[in-house]
Amino acid sequence: MKTFENDDLGKLILRLMIGGLMLFHGVAKLQNGVGFIEDKLLDHGLPTVIAYGIYIAEVVAPILIILGLKVRLSAFTIVFAMIGAIYLVHMNDIWTLSRGGAWGIEVQLMFLLGALAIMFLGSGKYVVQGKGS
């Protein structure tokens, strides 16, 4: 049986959502720097140079995901960054709800699980150039 053709459209929508929304976080880091992340790393006894990897996870990886290039590797980068963000910044939020009823790590988990899905699904056929991954 032929694969349902809209699978590729669904992969594109997922890529645009995760890549596009994560890119906003990257733009904020480009505008404001990574000092906040450096402080959190210091608080946990980790080297501050790690903070600069966030530019890869929140700028480069989302652009590649949107374009459909190296999406599995890029998605893995976002998964890794989100695990780090939850550990460094949002551990106390795991047990909280917002006034509107949202889980305290809802956004972080959406990025983590969305990127994980992209990692397993690949890019689909809608990519900028060549065969997707």
Note the pLDDT of residue 14: 98
Tell me the residue ranges of DSSP E strands in the chain. none
State pLDDT tens for residues 89-132.
999 999 999 999 999 999 999 999 999 999 999 999 999 976 55
Please state at what angle helix 71-88 crosses helix 106-121, rounded to 10 degrees.
160
Mean per-residue pLDDT, 73-99: 96
Note the pLDDT of residue 4: 59
